[in-house]
Structure 1
Amino acid sequence: MTLKSADLYRMVMPKHQCPHGLKALHLLRQAGYGVNDHHLTSREQTEAFKAEHGVTTTPQVFIDGRRIGGTDDLRRLLGKPVRRPDAPSYRPIIALFSLTALMALAASTSAFGAPFTVQTAEWFVAFSMVVLALLKLQNVETFSSMFLNYDLLAKRWVPYSYLYPVAEGGAGVLMVAGALNWLSVPVALFIGCVGAISVVKAVYVDRRELKCACVGGNSNVPLGFVSLTENLMMIAMALWMALDH
């Protein structure tokens, strides 16, 4: 049986190997192609190849002598989805809440020998607050810029956009420890209430289409139910701890 054949031109240099080229190589082999893997081993060779074929990027795939294009073009040819960089996506928040839920289940199992306890729910919210704050603090400037689009308090007092992730993370850590409830509860309640009111006004009253800053300033998570959920979780956690402790 003769394998389908493809030619792949990709950058393979001593200090750099193009990741998109590796993806294209994997896709071709996975699809059953025999790959003639051509390495572009210098910047000069790469630029000469691009000029010869009138392209601006590598890797480049050729099948039966016809240029297919780069990795995204290859994915389209193979019938695989290609995500637009600016496309809305809930994947970051789904991944975050899934992992914090698993962390809470694991912690409860370790501490109490059972995964489903009241503490599991408390830890899930607290872990989520800490991780959400971590994502915001990775680049607090981009977070604050996106946050200022809709948060009512931040619009009136800009420093709040920098303090918010610190307050969220600090309250979450204290809630994990079950310490200083007199501080963590009012902080979580305050930022949760302000956040919830801000989201409701921006999305459900003003009908604005914005990106959510909940997982940092570089995400494409739409502002709406997810952001509202983050704030409602903090409010519920604060009220629960205030009543239970």
Structure 2
Amino acid sequence: MTTAATSPASAAPSGKPVARLYRMVFDKHVCPWGLRAKYLLEKQGYAVEDHWLRNRDEVDAFKREHDVKTTPQTFINGERIGGHDDLRRFLGKPVRDPKATSYRPVLAIFAMAALMALATSWATSGALLTMRAGEWFIAYSMAILATQKLQDIESFSTMFLGYDLLARRWVPYAKIYPFAEALAAVLMISGALTFVAAPIALVIGGIGAVSVFYAVYIQKRELKCACVGGSSNVPLGFVSLTENVMMVAMALWMLLK
């Protein structure tokens, strides 16, 4: 078989278990999963015989010979382990389920917004924990969340229609919402036009909070939240409710000020 060419760095140090890895390395494309598999093997103490499949003909010939549909493929002790995910399972590593729900995306947004708010507070006043930092945290959170929604407004609006009470009665609201959130966020960051920003945040946040509470805690439905965009796997629930409650709280605070 002439489908696999060995890279110059394939020599195995003595004393280490050996793994043979076959991965795509083209002139204009290097398979990222192959790179991950190589790194994982080396991290686990394997000496990697790194075989490069340098063109489409070599890849197709390799797949036919080993009756596999994808590369990379790892072999240990003469046994085919499989692709990247199979290798992780073989090594006892967790494998991410792309369909699993997770709060990680929205928590990452809140964490980044908090750091940005603290940085802005420090830059403007020389202090971290200020009242303005709290205001910026909410405003930055809204701005980032709005950006997530606006990346694919069709997907967002479709998911949003699944639970928002106003959007179900007036469908265009599903596409207006992210623009309204973005506008309110920008005005809150600047501290300008409070009489515009506060009512917008109060209305969209209030409707959102009631919609989430009704869907999750009254109807007991298990839904995905559109808060970070229409392709997210964030479950609709406490974090989603928090986003809307923060908007309402910020709006009331601005009006009281």
TM range (shorter): over 0.9
Match of 1:105 in 2: 118
Match of 1:43 in 2: 56
Unmatched 5+ stretches in structure 1: none
Match of 1:118 in 2: 131
Q: Please give the residue correspondences for 1:179-190 in structure 2 after superposition, counting only pairs within 5 Å.
A: 179-190=192-203
Match of 1:149 in 2: 162
Shift of 1:191: 0.2
Which residue identity lines up with residue 104 of structure 1 in the other structure? Answer: A
- Provide the C-alpha distance between the structure 2 equivalents of 1:191 and 1:127, rounded to a whole number of angstroms: 16
Match of 1:168 in 2: 181
Identity score, percent: 61
Superposed CA RMSD:
0.7
Shift of 1:218: 0.9
Which residue identity lines up with residue 217 of structure 2 in the other structure? Answer: Y
- Provide the C-alpha distance between the structure 2 equivalents of 1:217 and 1:35, rounded to a whole number of angstroms: 41
Greater shift, 220-229 or 38-47, is seen at: 38-47
Runs (4 or more) in structure 1 with deviation over 4 Å come to: none
**Residue 29 in 1 paired to residue 21 in 2?**
no
Shift of 1:94: 1.3
Which residue identity lines up with residue 36 of structure 1 in the other structure? Answer: E
Which residue identity lines up with residue 237 of structure 2 in the other structure? Answer: G
Q: Please give the residue correspondences for 1:175-214 in structure 2 after superposition, counting only pairs within 5 Å.
A: 175-214=188-227
Deviations 1:156-205 (A, max 9, x none): 11111111000001100000000000100000000001101110111111
Shift of 1:55: 1.1
**Residue 138 in 1 paired to residue 151 in 2?**
yes
- For normalisation by structure 1, the TM-score amounts to 0.98
- For normalisation by structure 2, the TM-score amounts to 0.94
Match of 1:11 in 2: 24
- Provide the C-alpha distance between the structure 1 equivalents of 2:173 and 2:56, rounded to a whole number of angstroms: 47
- Provide the C-alpha distance between the structure 2 equivalents of 1:243 and 1:6, rounded to a whole number of angstroms: 66
- 3-state SS, counterpart of residue 25 of structure 2: strand
- 3-state SS, counterpart of residue 17 of structure 1: coil
Match of 1:223 in 2: 236
- Provide the C-alpha distance between the structure 1 equivalents of 2:90 and 2:107, rounded to a whole number of angstroms: 29
Shift of 1:128: 0.3
Which residue identity lines up with residue 147 of structure 1 in the other structure? Answer: F
- Provide the C-alpha distance between the structure 1 equivalents of 2:64 and 2:223, rounded to a whole number of angstroms: 40
Match of 2:91 in 1: 78
Which residue identity lines up with residue 236 of structure 1 in the other structure? Answer: A
- Provide the C-alpha distance between the structure 2 equivalents of 1:88 and 1:33, rounded to a whole number of angstroms: 33
**Residue 243 in 1 paired to residue 256 in 2?**
yes
- 3-state SS, counterpart of residue 154 of structure 1: helix
- 3-state SS, counterpart of residue 13 of structure 1: coil
Unmatched 5+ stretches in structure 2: 1-13
- Provide the C-alpha distance between the structure 2 equivalents of 1:190 and 1:3, rounded to a whole number of angstroms: 64
